[in-house]
A and B are shown apart, each in its own frame.
Chain A
Amino acid sequence: MSAAERGELEHAPTAEHGLETSTGLDNRKLLMWLFLGSECLFFGSLIAAYLLYRDQSLVPPCPADCVIDGVAHQGLFDIPFTSVSAFVLLISSLTMVLALAAIQRGDQKGLRVWLFATAALGILFLAGQAFEFTEFYREGLTLSTNLFGTTFYVLTGFHGAHVTVGVLILLSLFVMSLRGQLSPAKSLNVELAGLFWHFVDVAWIAIFTLIYLIQA
Chain B
Amino acid sequence: MTLADFRGIKRSAEDETQAATGDAPAPHEKGHPGPAEYSKIGLILGVITAVEVALFYMDMAQWALVAILILLSATKFGFVVLWFMHLKFDSQLFSAPLVIGMAFAVALFAVLLSSLGGGLV
Contact = CB atoms under 8 A, between A and B. Distances in A.
Interface in A125-146: none
Contacts of A80: 53
A45 B113 CA distance: 11
Nearest to A102: B35
A24 B119 contact: no
Contacts of A83: 49, 53
A14 to B, nearest CB: 9
Interface residues of B, number: 58
Q: By DSSP majority rule, is chain A's interface helix, strand, loop, or mixed?
A: helix
B120 to A, nearest CB: 5
B118 A53 contact: yes
B53 to A, nearest CB: 5
B42 A94 contact: yes
B85 A195 contact: yes
A38 B101 contact: yes
Interface of B: 7, 9, 25-29, 32, 34-35, 38-39, 41-42, 45-46, 49, 52-53, 55-56, 62, 65-66, 69-70, 72-73, 76-77, 80-81, 83-85, 91, 93-98, 100-102, 104-106, 108-109, 112-113, 116-121
26 contacts: A15-B27, A23-B7, A25-B28, A25-B93, A33-B94, A37-B98, A37-B100, A44-B105, A44-B109, A47-B109, A48-B112, A48-B113, A51-B113, A53-B118, A79-B53, A80-B53, A90-B46, A93-B84, A94-B41, A97-B83, A97-B84, A194-B84, A198-B81, A199-B85, A208-B73, A209-B70
Nearest 3 pairs between A and B by C-beta?
A44-B105, A37-B97, A40-B101
Interface of A: 15-17, 23-26, 29-30, 33-34, 36-41, 43-45, 47-48, 51-54, 79-80, 83, 86-87, 90-91, 93-94, 96-98, 100-101, 104, 194-195, 198-199, 201-202, 205-206, 208-210, 213-214, 216
